[in-house]
Amino acid sequence: MKSLFELCKPRESVFDPQKRDTVLDLSDLVDGRIDPAEFFSENYITEGMKALLKNAFLRNEGKSEQGVFKLKQAMGGGKTHNLLSLGLLAQHPDFRDQV
C-alpha cells in the first residue's frame, strides 16, 4: 500500500512565497481580484459546498422557496470560501458546469 506521502502531492503554489500567505475576503470578490480558473483549480468542492451552490442557484432561478442558508462552521471552517465560490459562479456562469 502506498503511503500518504506518496499519494498526496502539494500544489506548486503551496511553495510560492507570494501566494502562501494570501487570504481572500469578500472585498476581493467585489473588486474582481480573484481569477475563477485559478481559484477553482486549487480548491476541493465539498458535499456541503455542493449543497449550498445547488440550493442557492435553484433559489436564484425561482425553483426553490429556501432563501436563507445558515453557514455554521467554526472559525476557519470555510464560510468565506463558500461565499466566494458562490459569488464567483454567479459572476462567471461559464464555470458552473466545470464546478
pLDDT in tens, 24-77: 899 999 999 999 999 998 888 888 889 889 999 999 888 988 888 887 766 666
Does residue 37 form part of some domain? yes
- Domain assignment of residue 91, yes or no: yes
The model's pTM is 0.76
User: Is 15 a domain residue?
Assistant: no
In a domain, 16, yes or no: no
Please report whether residue 43 resides in a domain. yes
Residue 13 counted as domain residue: no
Q: How far is the C-alpha of 18 from the C-alpha of 74, rounded, in Å?
A: 27
Asked if residue 19 belongs to a domain, the reply is: no
pLDDT of residue 21: 65
Q: Which domain holds residue 86?
A: 24-95
Residue 53 inside a domain? The answer is yes
- Tally the domains of the chain: 1
Torsional sign, CA 60, 64, 65, 69: negative
